[in-house]
Structure 1
Amino acid sequence: MTPIAADSLALQRFYHWESSQPSRIILTQPMGDGTVKTFSWAEVGDQVRRMASHLQALGAAQGWEAGAKVAILSKNCAWWMMSDLAIWMAGYVSVPLYPNLAAETVRQILEHSGARACFIGKLDGWAGMKPGIPEGLTCFSYPLSPADARQTWEGWDALCARHQPLQGQPVRQADELATLIYTSGTTGAPKGVMHSFGAFAWAMDSALERLPLNEQDRMLSYLPLAHVVERVLVEHSWLVVGVSVYFADTLESFAADLQRAQPTVFFSVPRLWVKFQQGIHAKMPEKKLALLLSLPIVGGLVRKKIKKALGLDQCRIAAGGAAPMPVSLLNWYRRLGLPINEGYGMTENLAVSNITVPGLNQTGTVGPAYRGVQIRISPDNGELQMRSPAVMQGYYKEPRMTDEVMTDDGWFRTGDKGVIEKEGCLRITGRVKDLFKTSKGKYVAPAPIEDRLGEHPAVEACVVAGANMGQPVGLVMLSADAAKGDAAQRQQLAKELGEHLHKINAQLDPHEQLDCVVAVTTPWTVENGFITPTFKVKRNRIDEVYGPRLEGWVATHKPVIFSD
């Protein structure tokens, strides 16, 4: 590995922009009331330095250890990124949390990380998350925080006002821990992925060779900054390259936010690319659009008009990932003149593994590996394994779990199956283990949900399925007595299972909540291949038999469906 240059690390890059382009506007924040607030590098620097002073003073007063953890619980906003910088500048480690977690998960992460303080920011479901904040934890609020958070904890502006800016250019070394990025494991318990400043710097250096960005580029930040892709692509492109970042305000204002940003680089999960497509087809039927696009002059005008309506007429690099992109969807956007580069990566490798090469049609694969990334396929089980300087330092406080995902010769086990095709392009073919991704790019660990599903007395066995769907689905095999109930009994059972479903979903994070429960009356036996001799359900058999029917069941919009 080539040594990481000190001036390529996140804080050092920030100092470069702060001193060389102090007046340049680089953050644009809608304030929720129709107004927009902007920040220059100098303004960011002043506020970050004041907050870093506060954190250092607080750490000294409360006896924080070196590298203490400070959490950020907020939707994307300018203060999120400034908080991250302030935490680093003060000498601490940031712990971002998704802004829509269940209270139980919030508490679990804050306690496991040992967070000494937490920024409570812009949130929609704060009432449900608030019980997860441990009593006595030091917290701070943002100008866009929920009202009661601003009333409970001192705000960002007030804290900045009573502290002088931290002087000089405090540095962090390449091997120092920068952040813990929590991701769900197979047990459902969050795992804190440890990444250093050097890993981020190396990841950006390699990624920029494939996707060349520059300081004239603009991005809209709307996918959670707690997610590794947004953290690397948006936050670190902002720091390393100097791209301008615009923030989305609400779901309702997203179209207007996109028009304001006019992004030149745009990344999204497959679900949003599908929604864009559906919105276009709602205004222009698919057959008519295909005809118009096939006409030489008219086609060009239509393409330009559609991209302008989407707010993507200035987009020069479009990308997708976090979940598989359907080939038909990629081909549709290619015909529209907006080719999407599909990428592959994980939290554990800073999402820097593979991506298709701009200008080449590598649809159906996730492209070749980035420079410096090595990939191989295990001959034992077809698992994709990789290594690079961007691979994590390990799972925080979990050495055993870290050892489990590393081979004896130092390769990271991705848990995904794949094949390497021509020109080194990688095609992902499935998961080695049970953990699966929804179409929103979130991992779902089925086991803990299945444990709750199985608590109903009529349920003899169950499986949570739904890889690449919007939400997972619960499949339950009814007991012999429940399966042979008459119409009245079935109606009562449907009511009970519906209530059971509602209770379970209330305890889950949004991406884990079940769309519906399908009650199966045919027994799962060793003979028909659904279970092993030790009565473990064979997930691949479930997927094979029921997988093709899941979308149809979900489309009924019924909470409980009986399958005979």
Structure 2
Amino acid sequence: MQAFAQQVQEQPDQIFLRQPKGGVYTEYTWQQAYDMTLRLANALLAMGLKPGDRVALLSGNCAEWFIADFAIVAAGMIPTPIYATAGDDVIRYVIEHSESKAIFIGNVADTDMALTAIPNGVTTISMAQGPEGAENTFSDLIAKHEPLSDVASPDLSDTWSIVYTSGSTGNPKGVVLTYGNISYSAAVSIRLFSNGEKGRFLSYLPLAHVTERALVEYSSLYSGATVSFTESLETFINDLRNANVTSFISVPRLWVKFQSQVLAKVPQRKLNTLLKIPFIGAKVKKKIRTQLGLDNCLTFGSGSAPISPSILKWYQKLDIPISEGWGMSETIGLATTNYPFKLEKLGTIGKAVEGFEVKTSEEGEILIRGAGIFKEYYKNPETTAESFTEDGFFRTGDKAEMDADGFVTITGRVKDLFKSGKGKYIAPVPIEAKLADNQLIEQICVMGSGLPAAIAVVVLSDEVANGMSQAEIEESLTETLEAVNKVVEKHEVVGGIRIAKDPWTIENGLLTPTLKVKRAELEAKYMDFCAQPADKPVTWES
């Protein structure tokens, strides 16, 4: 909270938070946001909550999320975020496991379900778009209480937050992060990405994931940046344009969507021709950046899942150099990055950021230690102990290769390896990256445990496939399949491509809240489809 108070002192009347509704923005200055934070913190203590109590947050991104998060900290309590897309079983588990005493509820898909999932005895606080049946409302609590005078002043070793992982199997683990962790991460991101001016961010990736909190929420607190929010999926591009961002971090699926939208208006062949023409090429690049809302953006990033190097090359030709990064909840987000952008290092996740030390084990697993490593798994000392080497390196579970310059290339998850019917282990991620060079492919999962050969299940990009015949799509995918099979190891040859009829989403349980594919669920859904004999390389789900 010292960083917050310092921003108020230096720029009290400058805009901090911008919340859209119906196309109109409600803006909060640093002074207003700080005053609301301290009033809400006082309200929490007045309810009988005590320093050290856990307080849950269940909402999509909004200005009130920031203020609630800061208020919990100002009162000496511990924020415990829950993904806004979580089902009732996950909501109930996180609240009970963390022993949260209260919960803020905002804009979630099913507010009635969210309320019924909350155990008895947990105090409920409704945000602006939250349920009507909550015991308290955000606005009333602020209106009825004076600002807290005795703001908590924690030590760096104290627990800042418990972040529950969005893992694809079993109950989520509670990652205990300290004030030392978050202050380190925010400070490093500012030193790494600062360009000498006050930043402008758009907060839209889940705040329940620590990367958004570290690189956007707390980075803004330390740097004095302005943060805008989105209103809906339908208004996303307009919201992005309105935010006029200086830094934009996204996930591969959104970068692919943006690419598809551009190619739907300007086919690749025509785009290639235009970019070769002096002056015209520059105008085309600027127009595309402007339409995407990235015309004044200075830094671009991609993370959460692997992205095809061909997509990164495509954007680089448009003067949009996307630096791939990697991190986990346990590393408080960003731990490696290809920033400053190096074209020759495309396909890597970069090298360790300042304060981290990275190496690989004999088995190729990424091992990491440093100032951003979490404290422990909440109430799980056995798993905590198993997760560290004797010399203090965290076992990440990701397999990788490291070059002489320290740049890391992910080759898959340790647990993602599967054994084909021929008894050979196959790492799906590198194969997926090669196949995803085809712009028709929006989502992909290579599977094949026990099958004679690996099979790639894909979801097509509607924008790119629009107007193409089934025969043209099959021909394009077949060419890509043959090209990939020429460069992979013999036992990694892909036996065919299966086209799924429905997209994979968080709502249908096939993606995690951070948009990673849930391999176990996808295999359960499509393994029979993959095992069916096919008389041609590309087949469609009926």
**Fold conserved between structures, TM > 0.5:** yes
Distance 1:315 1:53, change over 3 A: same
Tell me the residue number matched to 1:142. Answer: 127
Aligned counterpart in structure 2 of residue 252 of structure 1, from 231, 234, 240: 234
Tell me the residue number matched to 2:358. Answer: 375
The yes-or-no answer on 1:37 pairing with 2:22 is no
Aligned counterpart in structure 2 of residue 322 of structure 1, from 304, 309, 317: 304
Tell me the residue number matched to 1:241. Answer: 223
- Give, in whole Å, the separation in 2 of the partners of 1:343 and 1:507: 23
Distance 1:186 1:557, change over 3 A: closer
Task: Note if contact 2:73-2:79 (Cα within 8 Å) is conserved in structure 1.
Answer: yes
- Give, in whole Å, the separation in 2 of the partners of 1:25 and 1:435: 48
Task: Note if contact 2:167-2:512 (Cα within 8 Å) is conserved in structure 1.
Answer: no
- How far did 1:408 drift? 1.1
- Give, in whole Å, the separation in 1 of the partners of 2:308 and 2:450: 31
Task: Note if contact 1:181-1:226 (Cα within 8 Å) is conserved in structure 2.
Answer: yes
Amino acid at match of 1:391: I
Q: TM-score, normalised by structure 1?
A: 0.76
Distance 1:435 1:390, change over 3 A: farther
- How far did 1:15 drift? 1.0
The yes-or-no answer on 1:103 pairing with 2:92 is no
Amino acid at match of 1:279: Q
- How far did 1:470 drift? 4.0
The yes-or-no answer on 1:131 pairing with 2:120 is no
- How far did 1:387 drift? 0.5
Task: Note if contact 2:39-2:147 (Cα within 8 Å) is conserved in structure 1.
Answer: yes
- How far did 1:173 drift? 1.5
- Give, in whole Å, the separation in 2 of the partners of 1:344 and 1:400: 26
- Give, in whole Å, the separation in 1 of the partners of 2:133 and 2:169: 37
SS in 2 for 1:352: strand
Tell me the residue number matched to 2:391. Answer: 409
Tell me the residue number matched to 1:208. Answer: 190
Q: TM-score, normalised by structure 2?
A: 0.79
- Give, in whole Å, the separation in 1 of the partners of 2:446 and 2:412: 18
Tell me the residue number matched to 2:408. Answer: 426
Task: Note if contact 1:215-1:242 (Cα within 8 Å) is conserved in structure 2.
Answer: no
The yes-or-no answer on 1:394 pairing with 2:380 is no
- Give, in whole Å, the separation in 2 of the partners of 1:385 and 1:223: 26
Distance 1:217 1:141, change over 3 A: same
Amino acid at match of 1:518: M
Tell me the residue number matched to 2:349. Answer: 366
SS in 2 for 1:341: strand
Aligned counterpart in structure 2 of residue 15 of structure 1, from 1, 5, 19: 5
Amino acid at match of 2:7: W
- Give, in whole Å, the separation in 1 of the partners of 2:358 and 2:116: 43
CA-to-partner distance for each residue in 1:470-517, whole Å, 9 max, x for gaps?
486997999xxxxxxxxxxxxxxxxxxx9xx9xx95799776564943
Amino acid at match of 2:11: Q
Distance 1:132 1:424, change over 3 A: same
- How far did 1:58 drift? 1.4
RMSD, aligned CA: 3.1
SS in 2 for 1:345: strand
- How far did 1:227 drift? 1.1
Distance 1:106 1:509, change over 3 A: farther
Distance 1:81 1:237, change over 3 A: same
Map 1:49-88 onto structure 2 (within 5 A): 49-59=38-48, 64=50, 66-88=51-73
SS in 1 for 2:47: helix
Aligned counterpart in structure 1 of residue 526 of structure 2, from 494, 517, 542: 517
SS in 1 for 2:211: helix
- Give, in whole Å, the separation in 2 of the partners of 1:154 and 1:366: 44
- Give, in whole Å, the separation in 2 of the partners of 1:514 and 1:340: 29
SS in 1 for 2:274: helix
The yes-or-no answer on 1:115 pairing with 2:100 is yes
- How far did 1:384 drift? 0.9
Map 1:494-509 onto structure 2 (within 5 A): none
Distance 1:230 1:98, change over 3 A: same
Tell me the residue number matched to 1:94. Answer: 79
Distance 1:522 1:256, change over 3 A: closer
- Give, in whole Å, the separation in 2 of the partners of 1:186 and 1:206: 30
- How far did 1:136 drift? 3.0
- Give, in whole Å, the separation in 1 of the partners of 2:207 and 2:417: 22
Distance 1:213 1:199, change over 3 A: farther
Distance 1:521 1:477, change over 3 A: farther
Task: Note if contact 2:187-2:219 (Cα within 8 Å) is conserved in structure 1.
Answer: no
Map 1:154-169 onto structure 2 (within 5 A): 154-169=136-151
Distance 1:319 1:23, change over 3 A: same
SS in 1 for 2:191: helix
SS in 2 for 1:47: helix
Task: Note if contact 1:186-1:434 (Cα within 8 Å) is conserved in structure 2.
Answer: no
Task: Note if contact 1:377-1:385 (Cα within 8 Å) is conserved in structure 2.
Answer: yes
- How far did 1:150 drift? 2.7
Q: How many pairs were matched up?
A: 464
- Give, in whole Å, the separation in 2 of the partners of 1:180 and 1:112: 11
Task: Note if contact 1:102-1:507 (Cα within 8 Å) is conserved in structure 2.
Answer: no
Tell me the residue number matched to 1:528. Answer: none
The yes-or-no answer on 1:28 pairing with 2:18 is yes
SS in 1 for 2:334: coil
Task: Note if contact 1:215-1:241 (Cα within 8 Å) is conserved in structure 2.
Answer: no
Amino acid at match of 1:52: A
SS in 2 for 1:518: helix
- Give, in whole Å, the separation in 1 of the partners of 2:332 and 2:510: 29
